[in-house]
Amino acid sequence: MFLAIDCGNTNTLFAVHDGEGWRAQWRTATHSTRTADEHAVWLSQIMEMNGLSFGDISACVISTVVPQALFNLRNLSRRYLNAEPLIIGEPNVELGVQVRLPRPQEAGADRLVNALGARMKYDGALLLIDSGTATTFDVVSSDGAFEGGIIAPGVNLSMKALHEAAARLPRIEIRQPEKVIGKDTVSAMQSGVFWGYVELIDGLVRRTRVEYPEDLTVIATGGVASLFEGAVSSIDHFDSDITICGLLEVWRLNGGGAD
């Protein structure tokens, strides 16, 4: 079996593929100082709850935007899974995505993995919206090339900034308010955050479609994308498996495969 690890700024996703499909997925809060041993204790217990064990895993690919976390995740794979992991972004790892940027090295490896994963599941030109600490909008051409995109602050980051910069504004949960016009501080903030991001997404999709010459299928992924399902009119598909599908394909491109 194959273990995909996608380490983001806020959450880390662990997913197991058995060669035919994804057996299980688990999220944990990202802590860059969490040791390989600490990862192993948590992961072994949650795998056991799903009828799995470290002995079932023979391959691992790691993608991380948190460089400080890589040392311990690499050691987790080496020490407990007995597998030398492929690390996204290292020179020896082929991603199989053409990058049409003046400086291709500026394309984040995590965004290229998303492009690869989306091409495995969808045809035609694509616009990928990944909602995490940042919200990224990436264009993938019909021939699978990464064309560039947009980076905006993520919804959680915006809420945190609002709370920390304004002493009287509380922390709030993200949810769709009943009305746009808030009658108290919390509902007013929820309206601004929720509907503000709905309009941000729809507006940037609209502008991208005007500028890009191919018809775009819009796909949303990432930890908070589902919060906007039913409210955003411009998204064609909500798909939480884009990144891990990309990691699986990276493994296959580099001579491996799921057992």
Whether residue 221 contacts residue 129, with contact meaning beta carbons closer than 8 Å, is answered with yes
pLDDT tens for each residue of 15-71: 999 988 999 999 999 999 999 999 999 999 999 999 999 999 999 999 998 999 999
pLDDT tens for each residue of 113-123: 999 999 999 99
Whether residue 235 contacts residue 222, with contact meaning beta carbons closer than 8 Å, is answered with no
Q: What is the CATH number of domain 124-242?
A: 3.30.420.40
Closest-CA residue to 71 (of 45, 37, 95, 105): 37
pLDDT for the residue 257? 54
DSSP string of 25-73, one letter each residue: EEEEE--TT--HHHHHHHHHHHHHHTT--GGG--EEEEEES-HHHHHHH
pLDDT for the residue 222? 81
Q: Any residues with CB less than 8 A from the CB of 218 and at least 6 apart, and which?
A: 126, 127, 129, 205, 234, 235, 236, 237
pLDDT for the residue 259? 42
Which residues does residue 86 pair with via DSSP β-bridges, in sequence order? 61
pLDDT tens for each residue of 38-52: 999 999 999 999 999
Fold of the CATH domain 2-87? Nucleotidyltransferase; domain 5 (3.30.420)
The letter for the amino acid at 230 is: G
Sheet with 146-153, strands from edge to edge, namely 146-153, 134-140, 125-131, 216-221, 237-238
Same fold, 2-87 and 124-242: yes
pLDDT for the residue 11? 87
Domain locations along the chain: 2-87, 124-242
Catalytic residue, chosen from 6, 56, 110, 202, is 110
Integer Cα distance of 234 and 110 in angstroms: 23
Low-confidence ranges of the chain (pLDDT < 50): 258-259
pLDDT for the residue 256? 74
| DSSP code for 190 | H
241 is catalytic: no
Integer Cα distance of 178 and 216 in angstroms: 31
